[in-house]
Amino acid sequence: MNVIECKELSKVYGNTNAIEDLSFTIEENKITGLIGRNGAGKTTLLKILAGYLHKSTGEVNVLTEDPFNSLKVSSNMIFIDDQMTLPESLTLLEILHSAKMFYKNWDMDLALRLFRYFSFHDNQLHGSLSKGMRSTFNAIVGLSARCKLTILDEPTTGMDSSVRKDFYRALLKEYIDHPRTIIISSHLLNEIEDLLEDVLLIKEGNLLLHKSVDELKEMAIGLKGKSNVIKEIIQGKEVFYRNTVGKDTTYVAVENSFPNELLQRAKENGIEISSVPTDDLCVYLTNRTKGGIDDVFNRN
Amino acid sequence: MGAFIPLMIILIIVITSYTFVKQSNSRTKKFIYGQRLRWMLSSYVIVLLLGGVTFFILPVQDFPETSVVSEVEDRVTNEAFIDNFYDSAFEGKIDEVDGVVVSKHLEFPFEEEELFLENVTSDYGGIMMIVEKKEGVASEIIATHYSTGLYIQGEDFTEKLSSTEITLSNHTLTVIPPEQTEIRIADFGREFTIAQFAEKDGSDLSTTASLSVQRMGHDIIYVIVPEQVEVTSTSGNIHFINDETYVD
Amino acid sequence: MYLTETNVLETTKILYKYKLNAYLNALSALMFVQILALFFSFLGVGSMGFGSSTVNLQVTTYSGSMVIVFSLMWAFIISITMTTKPYRNSDFSFVTNRVTSHLSSIAFLITACIFAGVTSMLMGLLLKVIMYFRFGGEIIGSHVGVTDLFIGISGTVFYLILLSSLGYFVGVLSQLHKMMKFILPIVFFGLLFVWGPNAKLPSEIVSFFIHESSLFLFILKVVGTSLLFYMVSILISNRLEVRQ
């Protein structure tokens, strides 16, 4: 069953397209990472899926329904981000009890254990939490709700690295015990890579790729060697990244479609072959220009 | 009162917005929330309920349930009464008027031939004196303070009025009007949401916007002296009946 | 995880319960407003003086009317507040759609109005008790009977609901577009200016309610008017985006 189906989905704000012609489907019980740079349209997409925003054109179905104004979607979906508005007059404990009323699958035991583990106090107020603590609390709500669709929009904003690691671990354990569809958005892949099954990469509102993490690992290959040799080898191939190191050495990340014997020969010609880390690849893919920040300074 | 209203509106808006509208992600500490808030509201309700109960057990006689007096009728009888009060006084029959109040009654033994009357005027004016020379009265002077009493919205407030001071010494009868009595009364108006829907209540000041103050401030000092006594005075506001010998 | 089922009624009920908890501070705001009104009421809502040579009489009228008027303003303001972004967003942190969000807010507001109606009438009685002791029983005027109290509470509650529905409508209108916050006051004061002080329409609208001496008809009028305000509010904001 497909939990999410989007067909040529677009969202226009005034004159700018926040997202453009997105088509993809997300299957049940998968953890998908939504990766893109700041302003790529991640949050807009997620808010359309959550039913907060209108789509402009195209089609969007969540749990086979248009999410806008759908009670079915709302009751089976939870959207967590650091902007989550919670009433100021309720204590954290009261908020957990309120959430329990709304979500039928809510696990109070889990919520309380996480609550204690991350050393929250019953009578704290949401508004008085620090940014990282607020994100942690929101994440606890997101996990304990056990919704069929859990959307986490940059859930780790402000968390320090040990809390982040704890959170990812908790997420994974929860997912294994109670599989559900989870979308995590982030501008970086590296920390969540081990968690994800699929990656949805968007750039400037457009879908770049939707692949499993394994496919992504195989997608590119890194070659490093004399510039003229590299230039020859990569003819006709898609180059994701090119960087000139030193005087006459070039590193390229290039589409991985070489026959084995060609690679063998290249190795003999002094070309270093490496795999491209997926998070690097994502960075290359989502860069606005080929090349990197160095190119801004290298004007020759 | 009117000048307060804009001020109140501003105050109310500030207070309300301060306590309720503040729903931002600001990290301000709040003191009233959770249990404390519930506790505060419950105490508030309890105080109000106690107030309500107390109101209903207050002595009811102090609240005329409904003293619906037709205003026109009331005023007519009121004026007629006062006319009658003065007319009867001048005819020497004041004690026959129904409803007249005797605030003070004094009898002084008097053997002298001459009486001097002193009617002191206060800041607020004097009090009317009527002097009657009466046959058959011997060796005494009878001074009586008659008043019409004070009725407000049908309620009797006569007791609140203080009486005139009357003294006799060395042929002189002195009448000192009382200090002006300050009477402060609370009028319990009905809230507009009751007045709009409940049956009309004539005693409701806030709806009729007029107060029926009846028989207020009509006083006469009536002095009876033996026929043979010669009465003199330099004060004003003294009237004589049955006496042709009086020289001003 | 398995799919859960829900419906409008059930979700509205949960949201209503949630709001009773979460927005209890609306009632503490009411409390402050009413206490403030009580202090102003100590000055009296009217007074008359009479004097003669022997008596100086001051009659001061006390009633809970000012407490009611303050509560009416409170109802108007919190109803506007309930339509503002933080409050709408807060619903969408949990389970809702626009209809259930509105229905539960309205149910909450009506509950708050009932609370405000009862407390403001009781505050009127408390004021009179205080004045009774301050004046040592020198009291004239009308005694509020139990029947009168119930009439007063009903009348007050429905006045509050009327103001609340108006506030809600104004609030929703001002949420439609950023410019509305400027347009609405301009339109309002513009109309006042165009109509002038002796205009018929506004005074007829006001007298439609305040000159209705039958409580039953008054309630009908208020129910009709506020239903209209609430329904239009729901309709025009049903496409409103949240958490932009």
Test the C interface: residue of B4, B20, B49 with most C CBs within 10 Å: B20
Which residue of chain C comes nearest to B192, CA vs CA?
C65
* Nearest Cα residue to A145 out of A199, A191, A181, A197: A181
Contact B124 C54 (CB under 8 A): yes
Give all strands of the β-sheet with B230-233 in edge-to-edge order: B165-169, B172-176, B114-119, B230-233
For residues B222 and B104, give the distance between their C-alpha atoms in angstroms, rounded to a whole number: 10
For residues A159 and C15, give the distance between their C-alpha atoms in angstroms, rounded to a whole number: 30
pLDDT digits (tens, 9 = 90+) for A159-205: 999 999 999 999 999 999 999 999 999 887 888 888 999 999 998 88
Within a domain: residue C189? no
Over its length of 300 residues, how does chain A's per-residue pLDDT go in tens digits? 789 999 999 999 888 888 999 999 999 999 999 998 888 899 999 999 999 999 999 999 999 999 999 999 999 999 999 888 888 888 899 999 999 999 999 999 999 999 999 999 998 888 889 999 999 999 999 999 999 999 999 999 889 999 999 999 999 999 999 999 999 998 878 888 889 999 999 988 888 889 999 998 888 999 998 888 888 888 888 888 888 888 888 898 888 888 888 888 888 888 889 989 888 888 888 876 655 666 667 655
Nearest-CA distance from A23 to chain C in Å? 22
Tell me the pairing of strands B165-169 and B172-176: antiparallel
Q: Write phi, then psi, for B225 (nearest 5 degrees).
A: -125, 155
Nearest-CA distance from B9 to chain A in Å? 26
Number of domains chain C is built from: 1
Q: Given a cut of 50, is residue C181 above it in pLDDT?
A: yes
* Nearest Cα residue to C154 out of C108, C198, C215: C215
pLDDT digits (tens, 9 = 90+) for B98-119: 778 888 888 888 888 888 888 8
Contacts of C7 in chain A (CB under 8 A): 71
Indicate the pLDDT class of residue B20, thresholds 50, 70 and 90.
Answer: low
Per-residue DSSP letter, B94:
G
Cross-chain CB nearest to B34 (options A94, A127, A129): A94
Nearest-CA distance from B41 to chain A in Å? 14
- Asked whether B219 and B164 are in contact (CB, 8 A), the reply is yes
Contacts of C86 in chain A (CB under 8 A): 85
pLDDT at residue C233, as a whole number: 95
* Nearest Cα residue to C170 out of C243, C85, C83: C83
pLDDT at residue B68, as a whole number: 46
Lowest mean pLDDT of A103-117, B2-16, B21-35, name the range. B21-35
Residue A274 CA neighbour count, 13 Å, CB half: 13
Please give the structure tokens belonging to residue B9. Answer: 């509106």
Within a domain: residue C105? yes
Residue owning tokens 């704000």: A13
Contacts of C243 in chain A (CB under 8 A): 47, 52, 83, 85
Contacts of C10 in chain A (CB under 8 A): none
For residues B201 and B69, give the distance between their C-alpha atoms in angstroms, rounded to a whole number: 9
Within a domain: residue C219? yes
Contacts of C52 in chain B (CB under 8 A): 124, 216-217
Mean pLDDT, chain C, rounded, equals: 89
Nearest-CA distance from B14 to chain A in Å? 19
For residues C87 and B234, give the distance between their C-alpha atoms in angstroms, rounded to a whole number: 84
Sign of CA dihedral B146, B148, B150, B151: positive
pLDDT digits (tens, 9 = 90+) for B149-161: 777 766 777 777 7
% of residues, chain C, pLDDT over 90: 48
pLDDT at residue A148, as a whole number: 93
Supply angle C-alpha C48, C49, C51, rounded to 5.
160
One-letter amino acid of B78? N
Within a domain: residue C190? no
SS3 C170: helix
Q: Select, from the ranges A228-242, B9-23, C214-228, the one with the highest average predicted confidence (pLDDT).
A: C214-228
SS3 A242: strand
pLDDT at residue A238, as a whole number: 85
Supply angle C-alpha A54, A58, A64, rounded to 5.
80
For residues B241 and C92, give the distance between their C-alpha atoms in angstroms, rounded to a whole number: 94
Tell me the pairing of strands B172-176 and C46-51: unpaired
Mean pLDDT, chain B, rounded, equals: 75
Contact C148 B52 (CB under 8 A): no
Contact A101 C4 (CB under 8 A): no
- Asked whether C67 and B192 are in contact (CB, 8 A), the reply is no
For residues B181 and B160, give the distance between their C-alpha atoms in angstroms, rounded to a whole number: 8
- Asked whether A233 and A223 are in contact (CB, 8 A), the reply is yes
Contact B30 A125 (CB under 8 A): yes
Contacts with C217 (C-beta within 8 Å, 6 or more apart), sequence order: none
pLDDT at residue B6, as a whole number: 64
Contact C156 B198 (CB under 8 A): no
pLDDT at residue B31, as a whole number: 57
For residues A104 and A145, give the distance between their C-alpha atoms in angstroms, rounded to a whole number: 8
pLDDT at residue B23, as a whole number: 47
- Asked whether A22 and A207 are in contact (CB, 8 A), the reply is yes
- Chains with 3+ CB–CB pairs under 8 A to C are A, B
Cross-chain CB nearest to B37 (options A85, A89, A127): A89
Q: Does B18 touch chain A (CB under 8 A)?
A: no
Residue C80 CA neighbour count, 13 Å, CB half: 18
Q: Given a cut of 70, is residue C151 above it in pLDDT?
A: yes
For residues B46 and B210, give the distance between their C-alpha atoms in angstroms, rounded to a whole number: 36
Contact C18 A178 (CB under 8 A): no
pLDDT digits (tens, 9 = 90+) for A84-102: 888 888 889 999 999 999 9
One-letter amino acid of B213? V
Contact A89 B29 (CB under 8 A): no
Q: Select, from the ranges A63-72, B79-88, C156-165, the one with the highest average predicted confidence (pLDDT).
A: C156-165
Contact C46 B1 (CB under 8 A): yes
Indicate the pLDDT class of residue B75, thresholds 50, 70 and 90.
Answer: low
For residues B173 and B166, give the distance between their C-alpha atoms in angstroms, rounded to a whole number: 7
Beta bridge partners of A120: none
Q: Where are the alpha helices (DSSP H) in C177-214?
A: 180-195, 200-210
Beta bridge partners of A37: none
Residue owning tokens 């000139």: A244
Indicate the pLDDT class of residue B67, thresholds 50, 70 and 90.
Answer: very low
- Asked whether A205 and A42 are in contact (CB, 8 A), the reply is no
Segments forming the whole domain that contains residue C116: 2-176+212-238
Per-residue DSSP letter, A238:
P
Indicate the pLDDT class of residue B168, thresholds 50, 70 and 90.
Answer: confident
Beta bridge partners of A273: A223
Sequential DSSP letters for A257-285: ---HHHHHHHHHTT-EEEEPPHHHHHHHH
pLDDT at residue B45, as a whole number: 96
Per-residue DSSP letter, B213:
E
Contact A85 C6 (CB under 8 A): no
For residues C14 and A142, give the distance between their C-alpha atoms in angstroms, rounded to a whole number: 19
* Nearest Cα residue to A256 out of A219, A285, A229, A223: A219
* Nearest Cα residue to A115 out of A133, A88, A89: A133
Q: Given a cut of 60, is residue B29 above it in pLDDT?
A: no
Test the A interface: residue of B25, B39, B41 with most A CBs within 10 Å: B25
SS3 B219: strand
Residue owning tokens 């008097």: B110
Longest dimension (CA), chain B: 99
Higher confidence at residue C61 or residue B67? C61
Q: Does A148 touch chain C (CB under 8 A)?
A: yes
pLDDT at residue B121, as a whole number: 74
Mean pLDDT over C190-212 rounds to 84
Q: Given a cut of 60, is residue B25 above it in pLDDT?
A: no
Query: What separation, in Å, do the N-terminal and C-terminal C-alpha atoms of chain A show?
Result: 53
SS3 A54: coil
Helix axes B4-16, C65-82, angle to 10 degrees: 40
Indicate the pLDDT class of residue B1, thresholds 50, 70 and 90.
Answer: very low
Indicate the pLDDT class of residue C103, thresholds 50, 70 and 90.
Answer: very high
Nearest-CA distance from B47 to chain A in Å? 24
Question: Which stretches of chain A sit within 8 Å of chain B by CB?
Answer: 83, 85, 87-91, 94, 123, 125, 127-129
Which residue of chain C comes nearest to B201, CA vs CA?
C142
User: Looking at this predicted complex, what is its ipTM?
Assistant: 0.89
Nearest-CA distance from C101 to chain A in Å? 10
- Asked whether A234 and A203 are in contact (CB, 8 A), the reply is no
Indicate the pLDDT class of residue B30, thresholds 50, 70 and 90.
Answer: low
